Chain A
Amino acid sequence: MSTQFSAVLDALTRQRGVRASMVADAADGIAIDSNLQFGQDGNRVAALSASLYRKARQSARAAGLGATGFMQLEAEDGRLCILGGDTLVLVVIAEPDANVGLIRIEMRRAAEQLA
């Protein structure tokens, strides 16, 4: 099934080192569309990513730093990149050695297309 997000997610997943990409609801963490590898649980990725983004956003606001845009979590075996808006979050899971700079640019481009 193709949605308004499919082309954007396909473009993101074609980036080297990207394992998965998805769009989720920022408020409730429900997956809206995703491009996942076999065995990945989209609902889990959406829920955890949205929750992490919400926490960062709340913390930044509480600290007086204003709205949060791009965030990246680096872990031993992978990276989680999130670009948040008011209602949606764009999520990418990537390899530890993926080019985050390029992924960030592509995520921003994708977000502009979705706006």
Chain B
Amino acid sequence: MADEIRQWSDELARDPGSLVFLPLAEALRRQGQAAMAQKVALRGLQRHPHNGEAHDLLARILTDLGDLQGAFDEWDMVLQLAPGHPGALKGMAFVRFQQRRHAEAEEFLVRAQSQEQDENLAAAIDVVRRSGAIAPGTILVDPFSEPRHLYVDLLTPDQAAMCLDKAGLVLSGAYYAGDGQDVAQEIGASLSGVSDEAVRATRHLGIGAWKSIVFETEAAVVALRPAPVSPQTEGGLVVVAAVPDTPLGLLRRVLDKCAQRTAEWLSREAA
């Protein structure tokens, strides 16, 4: 991948009008370099403003960066350039669902289904109609495709999960605020210090190593536990948050599932 990135970068340097910016930005995005991918995509769009695939790519990059509304606007542009683009419709459904606008999410899914036959789409529409309680990401996104999506099929829209390293930096997962912005980094950095205090308390009280902490706040109930052991996650945390009325026992179960998923992801990464 690094060789291809270098090759595409060289090609783009030689010919700034080349469409090679598309695979280059996609590769950077997949490597987790979303900010760099955004720069490449924006530069490409300056020369190819009517390229629908470029707008679609930029929308996916913006999703990675947590700018859901920006992503929605880009997909809207894709639809103007390529009416009925299924990828754009599914992306817009995803954004609307994350923003709790379920009826609009369903509309986009139905429009996507009219463009392509996909069993996953039918299932997503069915779930949205019946309960409105499961994110379309459950069906539309492979949890292992990107660290940000790692827990998407384990959570309902009013829950969030992430894995933090020892420094409080986000390794996987996301935390979307009401405005659609991903605030996982801010939340993670704030919560990571609790584990040091837990270690200190359990050591001095002689009650063994800490296994989990659950606390209730005005805006959420939060559960955290040590991250599965790996060089990346040593001293890190798995954190789950949900709306205030969530039963604490349920939250613990979700926390355990997310920890298992984290362990699975780490073993895949190591393989």
Which A residues have a C-beta under 8 Å from some C-beta of B? Answer: 44-45, 48-49, 51-52, 55-56, 59-60, 62-80, 93, 100-101, 104
Contact = CB atoms under 8 A, between A and B. Distances in A.
A58 B214 CA distance: 15
A62 B190 contact: yes
15 contacts: A48-B205, A52-B194, A62-B190, A64-B219, A65-B218, A65-B222, A67-B217, A68-B216, A71-B213, A74-B210, A74-B214, A76-B208, A76-B211, A80-B205, A101-B248
B13 interface: no
Contact of B215 (A44, A72, A75, A93): A72
Contacts of A75: 202, 205, 207-211
Contacts of A104: 248
A76 B201 contact: no
B3 to A, nearest CB: 41
Looking at chain B's contact residues, is the secondary structure mostly helix, strand, loop, or mixed? mixed
Q: How large is the interface on B (under 10, 10 to 19, 20 to 34, 35 or more residues)?
A: 20 to 34
B158 to A, nearest CB: 14
B119 interface: no
B101 to A, nearest CB: 22
Contacts of A69: 215-217
Given A44-B205, A73-B210, A80-B201, A63 B186 contact: yes
B206 interface: yes
B130 interface: no
Looking at chain A's contact residues, is the secondary structure mostly helix, strand, loop, or mixed? mixed
A70 B200 contact: no
B49 interface: no
Interface centre among A55, A75, A100, A101 (most CB of B within 10 A): A75
B36 interface: no
Interface centre among A56, A65, A79, A93 (most CB of B within 10 A): A65
A65 B194 CA distance: 14
Contact of A44 (B186, B204, B212, B241): B204
A77 B208 contact: yes
B263 interface: no
B219 A66 contact: yes
A73 B222 CA distance: 12
Given A65-B222, A75-B208, A56 B200 contact: no
